[in-house]
Amino acid sequence: MHIAAVRQAEEIIGVAPLMLKNETAFFMGDTDVCDYQDFIVAPGRSDEFFNVLLDDLNHRSIKQLNLGAVRPDSSVQTALINVAEARGCQVSCNKLDISYELELPETWDDYLLQLKGKQRHEIRRKLRRLEEAGSISYRVIEDSGGVKAEIETFFKLFKMSRNDKEIFMTAEMASFFRSLTQTLAAENMLKLFFLDFNDTPAAVAICFDYESGVYLYNNGFDIKFSSLSVGILSKVFTIKSSIRSGKQKYDFLKGAETYKHHLGGKEIPLYQCKIQLN
């Protein structure tokens, strides 16, 4: 583990959260739980930061930076590559995956209008059918105590929704999720969105809440309510809530699931960048 902070006097101008192994540096964080990554760089200080970082990695006998997945607007793509090429380093970037992102309008009605007619009709039809089937309610849990109390319900719904999700949620992964949600809830950066049907939790979504954006991290639902489309409608609720909160961006995060496109998401390519250091 190599967390490098570059400072000028007492001011931190950038942080590199890296792992070093076999003369290669790569981002800290498992791809199973990290959708895309980047360096943390103060505005206007990228060239200074990356030159110092590359000098440091050379000093540590690192021969390659293997960085992915990164967005087109990441500091890797917008600054590091230029710095590396100016130093004579060989750089290659290849598309690795995709993410989906939605620019949020000011109102829910405006959001529906920006969808294709078929998708707008489907959302309205699914909402109407759910409302006619029974009593529904939406709730948002964001305080640390509430998140701690409800995280087990999330695990239950998460594992029920798909076999691969049940396999994914090992005891070790569950421990990570507990730590992650508690830490971010304490910083007011996490929300648990629940859709209840007849007073029973039917679906849940974990979202990160940061500055002007909301990030859909994970979700689950009770399969006995699958005919009522509770999985997709719980995500629709998170979008509606985000609009009401004045958010400007909704990030579906990594993955090419069809529903992201149907809910208005625009494709964002994610890249893997390799830099051979001199």
pLDDT in tens, 218-268: 999 999 999 999 999 999 999 999 999 999 999 999 999 999 999 999 999
> How many other C-beta atoms can be found within 10 angstroms of the C-beta atom of residue 177?
18
Domain co-membership, 124 together with 241:
yes
Mean pLDDT rounded to a whole number for the chain? 96
Whether 253 is in a domain gets the answer no
Judge contact between 5 and 14, C-beta under 8 A: yes
Domain co-membership, 110 together with 242:
yes
User: What tokens appear for 273 in the block?
Assistant: 């960048």
Whether 254 is in a domain gets the answer no
Domain co-membership, 117 together with 218:
yes
> How many other C-beta atoms can be found within 10 angstroms of the C-beta atom of residue 122?
15
> How many other C-beta atoms can be found within 10 angstroms of the C-beta atom of residue 248?
15
Whether 24 is in a domain gets the answer yes
What confidence tier does 278 reach under pLDDT thresholds 50, 70, 90? confident
* DSSP E strand boundaries for the chain: 2-8, 11-21, 24-27, 40-41, 64-70, 90-103, 136-141, 190-197, 200-210, 213-221, 249-254, 266-276
Domain co-membership, 163 together with 57:
no
Judge contact between 190 and 205, C-beta under 8 A: no
The DSSP bridge pattern shows strands 213-221 and 249-254 to be parallel
* Structural domain that includes position 187: 105-247
Output the domain CATH number for residue 136. Answer: 3.40.630.30
Domain co-membership, 109 together with 220:
yes
Domain co-membership, 115 together with 202:
yes
The whole-number average pLDDT for the span 174-192 is 97
The count of domains in the chain is 2
